[in-house]
A and B are shown apart, each in its own frame.
Chain A
Amino acid sequence: MFIEVKGAKKIYGKGESEVRALDGASLSLEEGGLYVILGPSGSGKSTLLNMLGGLDHLDGGNLEIGGVKVSGMSDKQLVEYRRSDVGFVFQFYNLIPDLTVRENIQVVADITKEPLNVDEVMEAVDVKKYEHHFPSELSGGQQQRVSIARAIVKNPKILLCDELTGALDSKSAKTVLKFVESVNRKFHTTVIIITHNEAIAQMADRIIRIKDGQVSSNEANPAKRAAKDVEL
């Protein structure tokens, strides 16, 4: 398995205010798939994503990606892991406001050993025409496409998308999903989308459901649809 999570635990707070964001979650996923993790608010899906992306440490359990044990990595090792293997797309885009579209993508290419061509990536997500715009001059959908471009320019092994359409209208959301799908196909990138939007699950190879910090189901999606056919 490409991604192997076993008994993952993450606890925030202490005593009465203790919150078990992950409470023994286990999950196995193959390389190159497009996965959707579903769950209600507070179920622990964002925490799981943070762990997969090396943004935080587990309090218990194991996490291996591509045969490399991510849990137990030091902060410095996590930096290197994020630098080479992970791409992030966030709900609120999180572009760097002081950089133009091209520069927001280039800033990642600069620290990547073998980045993809920035122009090609921009064209792939159709933002080339805005290359000299600052984020504040773009719409939400446009910003999210830039965010995808930024994530994929390093040609990551995993693309992690946190509620990537949460701030978009349905038309923009569908466009963004199409780009994510194309990245998955074109670059064979493992894509994990976390969302509470059930409709997005239609395009997944597998649908993982999380509840109370545990994986309640991990099932193949026999009725997988293309992003363009997803009914949002």
Chain B
Amino acid sequence: MTLRKRYLRNLKKHLSFYVCTILLTAMVVVLYLCFAAASVVVMQELKNFYRDYKAEDAQFRTATELAEEDVKSLEEKFWILLERQSYVDLEEEQYTVRVLSPTEKTDLYQISGERDLEKDGEILLNTGFMRGNQIREGDEIRLGDRGFSVAGDFERPDYLFTIRETTDTFAMTKEFGLAEVSEADYDALEKSYGASGEYYAILYQGADEAEVRKYINEKYKMLSYLGADANSRLSTPEVTVEEASKYMDSIVVLLVIFITLIIAVVLGRRIQNDRRQIGVLIALGYRKRELARHYAFYGLLPGLLGGLLGLGFSILFAQRLISVLFYKFEPLPVAYKVKPSDGVLAVLVPAILYTLTVYLSAKKVMRTDVITMISGRKSIKEAFSMRMKRSRLSVRSKFRLRQIFGKPGRSLIVIIGLAFGGMLYAFCACCVDSMDTYVKSVVDQIGKFEYEYFLKLPRTGEPEEGSPMLGMVYEVKDSDDVIMLLGTDDGRYISFSDEEGNPVPYDPEKCYLTSMASVAFGVKAGESIIFFDPISLEEHSVTIEAVLENDAQSAIYCSREKAGEIMGVPGECYNVILSETTLSFEKDELLRTVSKKDLADQINEVKVNMENMMGMLNIFSILICVIVVYVMVNVLVSESASSVSMLKVLGYRNREINGMVLNVYHFLIPVAILLSLVLGVEGTRMVFTKNVATYKTYLEALIYPASVLKLVLLVVVSYGISLMLLRGKIRKVSMVESLKDNRE
């Protein structure tokens, strides 16, 4: 059909619009494929990795060592996999390397490099450590009194998050590494240096977990039990991917809606402006259906090209982008490739949405009678608006007012464009600022102590310094999370205030729940919480008197006597000491020490995660803001071309024309910024509500004045750049050509 020749001509004529639309579409597709869809795939691959490489379900220590026969008999009795694991920490000058015992049944390693260990004297190191220290295959590394030849690198499911202690929050890839060596080498190392730690790793394989745990505890007396969900080395990667997935899902959905809306509005207006040609074509005998199909292609083109561009970019860079998002782990053992179904979806959805939009716009235009269309006149209703008969305003002011209020559709798209451009930035800023506020307030909620000492064995009486507490970790019924039961008599380092900040009188007969636990387990004041001893699996239930404001720890506070009752130890015992100053202990007396700074760092890590994720989005938000604003302001110039042309003919200077046509929208900027703020903050609130389970708290959405200022700058600068670019376009508006076409 000859009519099709218009496609290329239209593309050339409105090249900047199509380029912008294609770029916007491509960006959404990249966000979808490289983050939202990728997160789902990465999660699945991660689960597969855990499954294929036998990630442990739990690890435990026992008072009585399990002999090989015991292990075998347990495996046969319950159809489980059980394996003793140990490690030797070798401390060198610049780093510590943890040599892991070779495993056969659980926590198997995957080779990331070319080859596996082939002989004694060879060593595999974890990828992050090798990169951090610039170690290459074939290098020699000295550990203790032995030298090893580096055979390559590896990943292990139980050490994707390579923290030294499970309570650590940062993986110091340069300072802490993991190693696999041959069995003979490991035995020699263990013999020379002794095992730094050992435990049994268990894989239930469908066996009744409770029954197995109970049996092992009764027969071998469990000293500790750490389920995979409570083991941050195993759970953090999954939680992080899940969090990213939730955020990206929400953002991509928002983006798709808004960008489709914007492109729909712009394309719709383009069709509206083409109504005279549509009228002529109908008069020439074209069917409305044929024309609607013809115009639909104008939507199909940017949708399809944008989708394909985004798909191409994603295929090339998805792996790199997704690894930026999960930077704090070992390189995930996932070769992420765009799934064909996701790729098809990413290309088809924008194409279909835009095509449909334009098709419907064309159909709508064609509802007008042909004569009106050919005349190019607008509806009488629009023409009658804003007559301002008695107004004493100048002609220019009236012109400006009519530009804004007489054409609500056009003004609306300017507001939508600016507001949307800013919204994504506001959303990112709001997420980071809210998290920052949360982190700051939560650090204060931790309590007034500076150090928290966990003793290996309970003591009786009172410590010389500090506040004694009796504490133990419990598993909560119907939940994967654990809770700390803490018995305190003086409560001097604990903040007893409710969520409104009102003081809560401490009653030693009652139990109190922190707000974090309240949200995590859905337990309110007056309700009961049921929890289990992780070793004996004995069930306990307490009624909560009040919820204390504390979003830092998941804990139940009660008197030491009550805690002792639950734990089965005398009430005068304590195994935790809170102190404002450092206390000295013998090395073997302490299980671990947690400083307030450690806790603050841990909480701060949530913010760092958020900043990392939002930092990535911010790049997109700025680009999108500039492009959207440009597209919208471009529409204004295109639609005002005839007026611009006429004003030029009448002798108006470019500056004066800008003042009448372009600059009239300046005062819509504050409205748009306000709207983008509201949308950004509300969007954040929505996402936070969805993520209550992840953060175990209701985060309050707020934005700092500095961020608002940055938002204002971003929108104003984008608008300014767009105007600057479009002023050139105004200068180029031909007086001769547009006069020929103007028949209002």
Contacts and interface: CB of A to CB of B under 8 A. Distances in A.
A90 B744 CA distance: 12
Interface in A79-106: 79-80, 82-84, 86, 88, 90, 92-100, 103, 106
A92 B742 contact: yes
A98 B406 contact: yes
B650 A56 contact: no
B2 interface: no
Contacts of A56: 735-736
A137 B389 contact: no
A88 B739 CA distance: 11
B383 interface: yes
B432 to A, nearest CB: 44
A137 B395 contact: no
A123 to B, nearest CB: 19
A84 to B, nearest CB: 7
A217 interface: no
Interface in B390-404: 394-396, 398-399, 402-403
A4 to B, nearest CB: 22
Contacts of B395: 99, 103, 106-107, 110
By size class, the interface of chain B is 20 to 34
B394 A110 contact: yes
A134 interface: yes
Contact of A136 (B378, B394, B656): B378
B739 A136 contact: no
B258 to A, nearest CB: 29
A150 B742 CA distance: 16
Interface in A54-86: 55-56, 76, 79-80, 82-84, 86
A132 interface: yes
A1 interface: no
B396 A98 contact: no
Given A98-B402, A136-B380, A55 B650 contact: no
A50 B739 CA distance: 11
B651 A137 contact: no
A88 B742 CA distance: 14
Contacts of A106: 395
A135 interface: yes
By size class, the interface of chain A is 35 or more
Nearest to A81: B651
A90 B653 contact: no
A88 to B, nearest CB: 6
Contacts of B286: none
Contacts of A50: 736
A108 interface: yes
A111 B650 contact: yes
Contact of A110 (B396, B403, B643, B653): B396
Contacts of B736: 50, 55-56
B387 A97 contact: no
Contacts of A150: 650
Given A97-B383, A134-B383, A136-B378, A83 B651 contact: yes
Most chain B CB within a 10 A radius of its CB, from A50, A76, A94:
A94
A98 B648 CA distance: 16
B421 to A, nearest CB: 26
Contacts of A134: 383-384, 387
A207 to B, nearest CB: 25
A136 to B, nearest CB: 4
A39 to B, nearest CB: 17
A8 B520 CA distance: 85
Contacts of A96: 399, 643, 646-647, 744
A28 to B, nearest CB: 25
B389 A103 contact: no
Interface in B636-661: 642-643, 646-654, 656
A93 B742 CA distance: 8
Most chain A CB within a 10 A radius of its CB, from B395, B643, B649:
B395
B398 A137 contact: no
A94 B398 contact: no
B649 A82 contact: yes
Given A50-B736, A132-B389, A136-B383, A95 B651 contact: no
Nearest to A90: B739
A136 B651 contact: no
A86 B683 CA distance: 56
Nearest to A82: B651
Given A79-B653, A97-B744, A137 B383 contact: yes
Given A94-B744, A96-B646, 20 more contacts: A50-B736, A55-B649, A55-B735, A79-B653, A82-B650, A82-B651, A83-B651, A84-B651, A96-B643, A96-B744, A97-B642, A103-B398, A106-B395, A107-B647, A108-B650, A110-B394, A111-B650, A136-B380, A136-B383, A154-B651
Interface of B: 377-378, 380, 383-384, 387, 389, 394-396, 398-399, 402-403, 406, 642-643, 646-654, 656, 735-736, 739-740, 742-744
13 contacts: A55-B735, A55-B736, A56-B735, A92-B739, A93-B743, A94-B642, A94-B739, A94-B742, A96-B646, A98-B406, A107-B399, A107-B650, A135-B744
Ranked nearest first, the 3 interchain pairs of A and B with the lowest CB-CB distance are A83-B651, A97-B744, A82-B651
Interface of A: 50, 53, 55-56, 76, 79-80, 82-84, 86, 88, 90, 92-100, 103, 106-108, 110-111, 132, 134-137, 150, 154
